[in-house]
Amino acid sequence: MKLFLKVFAVFLSVACGAVFLLSAYTKLFPIEPFEYTFVELGITNWKCSVFVARFFIGFEFACGGLLILNFWLKRFTIPLVSFTLLAFIAYLLVQISHYGNNGNCGCFGTAFVFTPLQGIIKNIVLLAAAAFIYFFHHNFSFRFMKPITIVLVIVAFVLPFILNPYDYDAALKNYSGELNYKLDLVTLYNNPDVPAPKVELREGKWIISFMSLTCPHCRIAAKKLHVMKMKNPKLPIYLFLNGSEKNIKAFFDDTRATDLPWSMLNGHGYFFKLAGPAVPQIDWVNNLKVENKSNYMVLQQDEIEAWLKK
C-alpha cells in the first residue's frame, strides 16, 4: 500500500506539472489579454505589462518543470505551488464578486474557456493533489540536482520571450494609410433604419472603435479599451458593434466592456463603409475628422490622453 501511495504521488506530481505547463503555454497565444490583467489589477503599467506577463508565464513553466521532475517537492516546490494556487483562487473570487461567474477566467488563455467558478474548482483539485504529494511523496536527491534546477529555471523564464517575443518594431509603427478624412456619422443620427449612437459623436474628440461580436481580435481590443476606461473614466471611447444580437452577451461576458458606451450597427453596409474591410478598427476622431488610427497592440493610454489635451 505504501508503495502504491508513493507511486501515485509521483504520478500526481507529473500530472500537476503538465497542467502548469499547459496553463503557461496557452497564455502565450494570444498573450495580450494576460498582459492587460496586470494593468487592470494595478500591478504594473501598460509598458511594463508585456514583461511582467512573460515573467509570470516563465514562473508557471518553472513550477511545471519542477513538478514533472519531482524536484525539491517538500522543501520548496509544493509550498510555492500551493501558495500560487491560493492566490489564483483569491483573484477569481474577487472577479466573481465584481463581475459574477461570467466570461473566461483566463486559466488557459483563450484556448480553453473556464468560468471563474470552474477555475476555482480546478485550482482546489490541484491543491488537493499538492497536499497528497506533500504527505506521501518520497524525497529523493542526486548529485546534479541543483545545477539541473538552475538551468531549468533559467530556461523557463527565458522561454516566453523566445516563443512569443515582444515586437518592438510593431510597437513603434504608426498608421500610414489615409487620414484627416471625414467620418460620416451624421447619417447614423438621421436614418431610422439604424440605431443612432447613444452619445453625441459629431462634436469633440472620441476614440471610436468598430468591432465584430465574434472576432477574437476585436474582443482583445475591447478588453484593452475597458481597462483604459477603468483607469481613466474620462476617456471618450465608443464602440460600434456588428453581428447577431445573440452574441452580445458572450461578447460582454468575455470583454467586461460594459463600462463603454456602444451601439449595434448592422445592415445597409454602414458598418463596413465606416470601418473599412478589417476589424477591429480604432479611429481617433476630432469633430468627425479621423486624425489617427491604431491597432489594439500599439494603442497607448498616455498617447490618447496627450491627444485629448491638445
The C-alpha cell at 46 is: 501598460
* Residues 128 and 217 occupy one common structural domain: no
The C-alpha cell at 167 is: 515586437
The C-alpha cell at 25 is: 503555454
Cα–Cα distances (Å) from 170 to 50, 174, 176, 177, 187, in that order, read 13, 9, 13, 15, 35
The CATH number of the domain where 200 resides is what? Answer: 3.40.30.10
Label residue 70 left, alpha or beta by phi (over 0 means left) and psi (-120 to 50 means alpha): left
Q: Give the count of beta carbons closer than 10 Å to the beta carbon of residue 98.
A: 9
* Residues 159 and 191 occupy one common structural domain: no
Residue that has been written with the C-alpha cell 472603435 in this structure:
209
C-alpha of 68 from chain center = 27
* Residues 184 and 147 occupy one common structural domain: no
Helix (H, G, I), strand (E, B) or coil at 121: helix
Dmax (CA) of the chain: 79
Q: What is the pLDDT of residues 22-39, one digit of tens each?
A: 999 999 999 999 999 999
* Residues 161 and 250 occupy one common structural domain: no
Looking at the 3D structure of the chain, how many domains does it have? 2
pLDDT recorded at residue 92: 97
pLDDT recorded at residue 139: 82
DSSP 17-34: HHHHHHHHHHHTTT-HHH
292 has pLDDT over 70: yes
* Residues 47 and 191 occupy one common structural domain: no
C-alpha of 234 from chain center = 23
Portion of the chain with pLDDT greater than 90, in percent: 81
CA distance 9 to 141: 16
Q: What is the pLDDT of residues 110-128, one digit of tens each?
A: 999 999 999 999 999 999 9
138 has pLDDT over 90: no
4 has pLDDT over 60: yes
Total length of the chain: 310
> Judging by DSSP bridges, how do beta strands 205-212 and 281-286 pair with one another?
antiparallel
Closest CA to 305 of 231, 222, 219: 231
> Of 166, 182, 215, which residue constitutes the final position of a domain?
166
CA distance 11 to 16: 9
Closest CA to 239 of 282, 205, 277: 282
Q: What is the pLDDT of residues 232-285, one digit of tens each?
A: 999 999 999 999 999 999 999 999 999 999 999 987 678 988 988 889 999 999
Task: Evaluate if pTM is beyond 0.75.
Answer: yes
Find the domain containing 276 and state its range: 173-309
Query: From edge to edge, which strands make up the β-sheet containing 262-264?
Result: 181-182, 289-294, 281-286, 205-212, 237-242, 262-264
* Residues 120 and 140 occupy one common structural domain: yes
* Residues 39 and 119 occupy one common structural domain: yes
> Of 150, 166, 182, which residue constitutes the final position of a domain?
166
Strand partners, 242: 212
